[in-house]
Amino acid sequence: MRVFLAIEIDEKLLEKISNVQKQFMECEAPVKYVETENLHCTLKFFGEIDENKLNEIIEAIQSKIKSHEPFKINIKKTGVFPNERYIRVLWLGMEDIEPFSNLQKDLDEDFVKMGFKKERSYVPHLTIGRVKGAKNKESLLYKLKDMGNIEIGEMDINKIVLKKSELTPAGPIYTTLKEFDLK
């Protein structure tokens, strides 16, 4: 099964995020936008794993989560990965990320011990679209600058979720496997 660890987006922010996506759609660039119900912040993408590895991951999360308290993040600003010359991902950024980053680094230590690749330079973000080509790139860059300081809002992080991702022709289907509450 294909699995990842994520933070779900507060429902009160989803309409604002959807509106940002609609503004980018005006550029008519070849972008596959993330469906509203699939918006999340990825803490770790594990890829294809078996049941034994899944149980190992769950145990590691349960062990580490105990030392992390709930926190808030502020979703704001737009950006791209890897850079403006070669845009592959459109994202919304975050402020007040220290607790988020600490949680990700702490969990990643155990995931690396399990044989998963270490996250090199993890940047907390919310992917809103994946760019599929260079058509209308200038329009996309203009919109990025125009919306660069957009404010979406603050949200409380009280839990993280382990999700299964099934790829289908209509897009991915995410199923929650387990939730972990921050103490």
Catalytic status, residue 68? no
Q: What is the pLDDT of residue 150?
A: 96
From the list 21, 39, 40, 75, the catalytic residue is 40
Q: Which residues of the chain have pLDDT under 50?
A: none
Question: What residues does each domain of the chain span?
Answer: 2-181
* Chosen CATH of 2-181 out of 3.40.50.800, 3.90.1140.10, 3.50.50.60, 3.60.70.12: 3.90.1140.10
Q: What is the pLDDT of residue 134?
A: 85
From the list 44, 125, 143, 163, the catalytic residue is 125
Calculate ∠ Cα 72-128-78, nearest 5°. 70
Cis upstream peptide for 82 (omega within 30°): yes
Q: What is the pLDDT of residue 151?
A: 96
Q: What is the pLDDT of residue 149?
A: 93
Q: What is the pLDDT of residue 122?
A: 87
- For the packed helices 137-146 and 11-25, what is the interaxial angle rounded to 10 degrees? 140
Q: What is the pLDDT of residue 140?
A: 92
Distance CA 76, CA 176 (A): 26
Q: What is the pLDDT of residue 27?
A: 94
Catalytic status, residue 125? yes
Record the pTM. Answer: 0.92
